[in-house]
Structure formats: C-alpha cells, structure tokens
Amino acid sequence: MRSSKPILLVEDDVVDVMTIKRALKDLKVTNDLVLGANGEEALDYLNNNSNRTPCLIVLDLRMPKMNGLEFLKSVKSDDDLKKVPVVVLTTSENEEDRSDSFRLGAAGYMVKPADYEKFVETIRTVDLYWTLSELPNGTGNSTE
C-alpha cells in the first residue's frame, strides 16, 4: 500500500500474526501494522480519534470476545469507518461465513493457506490490489 496509513490487523492467533508480519516483511510492505487481538480492541482503536484511521483492515473471523462478523457489522454501521475496506482473512472455508461477510460489507474474503509460501502469495495479491484501489478523500489519501 502506498499510503502510510496503518493496516489494522484484527487477529488473535500469535502464529498467524507472526506469519503476516513476516509475509509483509518479505513483500517489503512498509505500512505500520496495528494489532487488535479481538474485535473489541480493534473497535476501541478505531473509535479513538487520536489514532490514525487505517487504510485497510485485515480481519480474522474467529476471535474471542467479539468475533469478526460482529466487528464487521459495527464498523460498517459507522458512517466514517465504513469507508475503510475490510478484507476477511480466515481459516474458514464455510459458505455461510463467506456470504455473511459479504452481506455485511466485506470487500474481500481470503482463506488462509496452510502453506507459508502460499500465504505470502495471498498477502502479495492483497497488497497489489489495494495499492491500485483508490479510497475516497477524507479517509486516506493515496498520495499522502
């Protein structure tokens, strides 16, 4: 992502976090990575005005306290926050999860590959896409 805005990663599994961090490093993505261990923490971060609005949210579905779908729902009901694209990155291949995610306004749905190499590929694809995709002004300038 060209933007310097952070990527909000909502994920509770430590290994998965490490994996994503490593993958981003391999891809030389320079954006900051903000962590939310679960939906609640992530929402707190978003609602805190002193924090920068992320340019992308990567969301895991299965988390304690507030799971991914609940978080997605709250984010998309907020007029300001809903402009931020959310990509679901989950182990679940469940059709229901898929449809629910898109119904709630996810921008994309990707299944975590078991293999690390493939994982990197997936992240690269995400990065490539969102580098191209332009967000409306006010949420995060691509030029900024």
Partner 1 sequence: MKKSLKNKIIIGVPAIFIVVMLIVMVVVSVILSKQNRKTANTLIRNAFNIVRFTISERQDKLLFNSHQMASMDNMGRKIKYVKESSSYFKYDTLRPTYTKIAGVIYGIGTTADIWKANIYNSNGDLMTFAIIEEDGSTLGCIHNREIVETASLKSGKELTGELWTKQDNLPAGIEYSLGKELPNKEVINFEIINKSLCQVAYSPVMGKEYNPITEQMEMKQVGIVVVVQKFGTTFVQKMAELTGTEINIFTPGVMVCRAICCGTFDDYETIDLSQFEDVQNASKLNKQPMIFNDLDIANRSYFQGILPIYSGQKCVAAIVSLYSKKMAKTNTMQIIKLLSLVYLIGIILIVPITILVVMRGIINPIQRIAFMMREIARNKDFTKMLKVESQDEIGDLASSFNEMTGNLQKTTTSIDNLNREINERMKAERNQAQLLKELEKTNHELKEFAYIASHDLKAPLRGINTLTNWISSDYADKLDEKGKEQLTLLSRRADRMHNLIDGILQYSRVGRIHEEKKQVNLNELIGEVIEMLAPQENITVTTENELPIIECGRTRITQVFQNLISNAIKYMDKPQGKIEIGCVEEDDFWKFSVSDNGPGIENKYFEKIFQLFQTLSPRDEFESTGVGLTLVKKIVELYQGKIWVESKVGIGSIFFFTFPKQKLETKNAKLEAYITC
Q: Least CB distance from residue 6 to partner 1, whole Å?
A: 23
Among positions 60-99, residues that touch partner 1 (CB under 8 A) are 62, 91-92, 94
Among positions 95-124, residues that touch partner 1 (CB under 8 A) are 112, 114-116, 119
- Alpha carbons within 13 angstroms on the beta-carbon side of residue 111 total 10
- Among 18, 47, 65, 77, interactor with partner 1 by CB under 8 A: 18
Contacts 24+ apart (CB under 8 A), 109-113: 112/16
Q: List alpha helices for 2-137, DSSP H.
A: 14-27, 39-47, 68-77, 95-104, 116-132
Contact 40, 10 (CB under 8 A): no
Stretch of 8-16, 51-59, 64-72, 134-142 lying at the interface with partner 1 (CB under 8 A): 8-16
Closer residue to partner 1 (CB): 91 or 141: 91
Q: Residue holding tokens 């709630």?
A: 104
- Alpha carbons within 13 angstroms on the beta-carbon side of residue 120 total 10
Stretch of 11-19, 36-44, 99-107, 123-131 lying at the interface with partner 1 (CB under 8 A): 11-19
Q: Name the site residues for partner 1 (rule: CB under 8 A).
A: 13, 15-16, 18-19, 22, 62, 91-92, 94, 112, 114-116, 119
